[in-house]
Structure 1
Amino acid sequence: MSFSHVDDVLVDRIYEASLIPEQWPQVLRDFARMAGAQEAALLAADSEGSKLIGSSPAVDEIAAKVFSYPAGIERTRRLVALRHPGFVTDRDVFTHEEILNEPMFADYLIPSGYGRGIATAICVPNGDTIVLHAEGNYHDGPFDSRTVQALDALRPHMARASLLSARLGIERARAAAEALAAVGLPAAVLGHGGRTLAANDLLVALMPHVVQDRSARMTLTDPSADALLRTAIEAVGRSSGLYAVRSIPIRATDEHPPVVIHLVPVRGAAHDVFAASSAVLLATPVVPKEVPGANVLQALFDLTPAEAKVAQAIGNGETTAGIAASNGASLNTVRNQLAAVLAKSGLHRQSDLVGLLRGVGLDPVFKPS
């Protein structure tokens, strides 16, 4: 079995778990195995609290013990504060001396066969924070770059799937209408080809200025964004091509803030809950004061960490020449990375990207692809 095929299978399971949360422990076990770790955990936090799900029952005990140490809270705080649009390791947030001297590591994690952590913090546009963490044996040494790159490739899929699971309260939905009511975000269940099967009141409120319920399929009012949605719906309908699925930015207007549309495929046993469906469409408002621009774009639009850093710098008003100089890269490289950011986010100009990141209206000259 090839490495890419294993990835496709795991991505399928990730989207299956988004609607059947009982599947998350197995997904997390697969994720831990991919990372070369023993255990993994998914932590979802919003304004009302946090929820933890682990790869095994042992994770609850490990997490409780870790967070009993000041360094456990500091570990998560540093991870989130780093705002890195990808996976980072303990050695990225702690010095070697800190790891050897911190009681959490020295007295508990390392003697227990752990202490080799790799994690990512995913900041969702509505302000939710999702942490995905794998814990391995300290004596196995640092994580290699190939492992980090492989996990980075899974990160956008985990972001979309875990957002839906978190909003379902990590509880199994019994029916499409019940599930959509529980999400607390504008949402709709789409059938094959993108036809609307069910929608909650929050999504209906976005009609027709953001979405339109047409007979053939659900569409987006913005023609450029709708072209991306059509491509994503077509990708969901195929047995392969999962990596073509991405989230879609909707520009702000005078009356409405920017919105990000997520398309979450319905896979495997999730069809038992969402009969005859192919995907769940979610809409999340962009809250720029709470969400770093690079994290939003990397998590939602499948950017590489390098592309995300370029996007963040552009959002901060830096020029491509300035970015090249500060990153030690060629101007041509930075321009290519910026072009990739625009293509993946469905935008056409640098000013549109700045507008999305800052949560303001995009330039009205917004042409379809």
Structure 2
Amino acid sequence: MTHEEIHFAIRRIYEAALSPENWPSALVSVTEAIGGHKAMVNEKTPGAAGRSFSNGLDVENASRLQREFETRLPDWIRAIPVGVPMRQSSMISDAAFRRSELYNETIRPVGGFYVMVAPLVQHPGRRAYFSVCRHLGAPDFSDDDLEAAKLIVPHLKTALDVQGRLEAADLRTQGVLDVITQLNVGVILFDAALRPVFVNPCAEAIAARRDGLLLSSEAVAATLHLDTEVLRRVMKAALAWHDVSRDGSVFALRTEAPVRCYLSRRPPRPPLVVLVVPLCTTGLTNEWNSGARAVLFVMEPDSASGLEQMVLIETFQFTRREAALASLLARGIDLPDTAARLGIGIGTARGYLKQVLAKTGTHRQAELVALLLRSACMAGGVTTAPNSTVPCSHRSDSRGQ
């Protein structure tokens, strides 16, 4: 295992998320980086037939393994935390594994023995797992193999989420930019030089006030110099996700994490909240914005939310209280203020937040906000912004600082 192999495998994973026909070749790279011989990713979603991608397995054996994961999942696999790869030998003895149905009906027929498994998704009705095995007679996965898997597995999980959202929204054909144009949250797509290539009407309206946010054809800036320096640092941090020239271990540890900062406004208005997220551009590019590399969300904490609570309830199965809390957090309001606005204690708010994180598969509040905003864009669950009649194809030409 080398950093270059890990780096290459991660790149292939994201290519497969955008073009699912590339999953078998991506799994070849993943299998080699982890030191395995055969591998599979299988997923079961509500109301749909299960699907799987495999390396080194014929159709019959792949189908048999997929059925085992869907219908007779062993307790030792159920006990593995989501996103954590575990060697079978750390969960069950070799002797017990040899007697198991999983081994005798799926692993043994393909000539394997030692297995490493990582749950990727465990939501009600939707489960996904990554498994990799070594040939019968080969030694167990080494500590280095396990460390490589720990670097790769989070990207497998993210790639499945990306693929699922692309499929659900059909981004390639549904005109997502038209939806973003109507979003009642400022949205700015910017390129590798930090230049805006797309600005929605809400962001234009915020910038036109020249209070916190400034825009020109060449730059995104703040009204205060110190805020501009911080803003550009977080924009560059988001671009680092696309930097494939660095050491592979650094890339492998980097996740698609949002970065937050604040832009001061004239009192008594609270500062603008800015969230910057690396952009997966598939389905969002055309001849004039193909250079977009990240998206910058600008939120006004004292304005009405752009997220419809019913959309949140339907999308994530939130309760009404959970949806109200998520909607306020998406506006950049911190948890104590959110609790005060909802008339609940901070402990109760933390409990709601914990449930919201669990239902969305996120781990931090910043990740949650980014997911909610992106989901609103994809689902069209947005409130129309004022003065949003300018066609989105002309947005990049109408700015002045």
**TM-score of the aligned structures, taking structure 2 as reference length:** 0.51
Alpha-carbon deviations, 1:210-259, whole Å to 9, x = none?
xx8955678999x98985453121452564367354313769xxxxxxx9
Report the residue type matching 2:63 in the other structure: A
Shift of 1:16: 2.5
Give the distance between the partners of 2:93 and 2:70, measured in 1 at CA: 13
Counterpart mapping for 1:330-349 below 5 A: none
Partner residue of 1:276?
Answer: 290
Partner residue of 1:145?
Answer: 143
Question: CA 1:81–1:22 in structure 2 vs 1: closer, same or farther (change >3 Å)?
Answer: same
Give the distance between the partners of 2:106 and 2:25, measured in 1 at CA: 26
Shift of 1:29: 1.1
1:97 pairs, out of 95, 98, 120, with: 95
Counterpart mapping for 1:40-51 below 5 A: 40-47=39-46, 49=48, 51=50
Greater Cα shift, 65-74 or 134-143: 65-74
Q: Quick check: 1:19–1:172 contact (8 Å CA) kept in 2?
A: no
Alpha-carbon deviations, 1:22-68, whole Å to 9, x = none?
22221111111222333322234555557533135946533431354
1:55 is the counterpart of 2:65: no
1:288 is the counterpart of 2:303: no
Give the distance between the partners of 2:78 and 2:219, measured in 1 at CA: 38
Partner residue of 1:192?
Answer: 192
Task: Point out where structure 2 has 5 or more consecutive residues left out of the alignment.
Answer: 180-184, 208-212, 262-273, 298-315, 317-325, 330-352, 368-401
Shift of 1:118: 1.3
Report the residue type matching 1:154 in the other structure: I
Partner residue of 1:73?
Answer: 72
Report the residue type matching 2:355 in the other structure: K
Question: CA 1:45–1:224 in structure 2 vs 1: closer, same or farther (change >3 Å)?
Answer: farther
Report the residue type matching 1:166 in the other structure: G
Q: Quick check: 1:25–1:53 contact (8 Å CA) kept in 2?
A: no
Q: Quick check: 1:120–1:131 contact (8 Å CA) kept in 2?
A: yes
Give the distance between the partners of 2:88 and 2:18, measured in 1 at CA: 31
Partner residue of 1:327?
Answer: none
Partner residue of 2:8?
Answer: 9
- Count of equivalent residues: 280
Question: CA 1:58–1:155 in structure 2 vs 1: closer, same or farther (change >3 Å)?
Answer: closer
SS state at 2:33 partner: helix
Task: Point out where structure 1 has 5 or more consecutive residues left out of the alignment.
Answer: 252-258, 302-369
Give the distance between the partners of 2:47 and 2:296, measured in 1 at CA: 20
Report the residue type matching 1:192 in the other structure: A
Greater Cα shift, 129-138 or 280-289: 280-289
Cα RMSD (Å) of the superposition?
A: 5.4
Partner residue of 1:119?
Answer: 117
Give the distance between the partners of 2:138 and 2:178, measured in 1 at CA: 43
Q: Quick check: 2:188–2:295 contact (8 Å CA) kept in 1?
A: yes
Report the residue type matching 2:42 in the other structure: L
Q: Quick check: 1:39–1:59 contact (8 Å CA) kept in 2?
A: no
Give the distance between the partners of 2:78 and 2:154, measured in 1 at CA: 17
**TM-score of the aligned structures, taking structure 1 as reference length:** 0.54
Shift of 1:292: 6.1
Give the distance between the partners of 1:274 and 1:132, measured in 2 at CA: 38
Q: Quick check: 2:215–2:221 contact (8 Å CA) kept in 1?
A: yes
SS state at 1:134 partner: strand
SS state at 2:52 partner: strand
Q: Which has the greater radius of gyration?
A: 2
Give the distance between the partners of 2:3 and 2:79, measured in 1 at CA: 32
Question: CA 1:69–1:115 in structure 2 vs 1: closer, same or farther (change >3 Å)?
Answer: same
Q: Quick check: 2:42–2:128 contact (8 Å CA) kept in 1?
A: yes
Alpha-carbon deviations, 1:57-81, whole Å to 9, x = none?
9465334313545896323x64343
Give the distance between the partners of 1:229 and 1:105, measured in 2 at CA: 49
Give the distance between the partners of 1:241 and 1:199, measured in 2 at CA: 33
Give the distance between the partners of 2:54 and 2:93, measured in 1 at CA: 28
Alpha-carbon deviations, 1:248-283, whole Å to 9, x = none?
3769xxxxxxx997535669xx99999724546599
1:233 is the counterpart of 2:299: no
Q: Quick check: 1:11–1:157 contact (8 Å CA) kept in 2?
A: yes
Partner residue of 1:362?
Answer: none
1:165 pairs, out of 155, 158, 163, with: 163
2:278 pairs, out of 248, 255, 263, with: 263
Q: Quick check: 1:127–1:290 contact (8 Å CA) kept in 2?
A: no
Give the distance between the partners of 2:122 and 2:200, measured in 1 at CA: 20
Partner residue of 1:332?
Answer: none
Give the distance between the partners of 1:32 and 1:67, measured in 2 at CA: 18
Report the residue type matching 2:104 in the other structure: A
SS state at 2:246 partner: coil
Give the distance between the partners of 1:225 and 1:85, measured in 2 at CA: 32
Give the distance between the partners of 2:25 and 2:362, measured in 1 at CA: 27
Q: Quick check: 1:127–1:291 contact (8 Å CA) kept in 2?
A: no
Alpha-carbon deviations, 1:132-189, whole Å to 9, x = none?
22233243232111000011112333333231112223999646836998xxxx9986
SS state at 2:140 partner: coil
Shift of 1:105: 1.2
SS state at 1:133 partner: strand
Alpha-carbon deviations, 1:327-346, whole Å to 9, x = none?
xxxxxxxxxxxxxxxxxxxx
Greater Cα shift, 27-36 or 92-101: 92-101
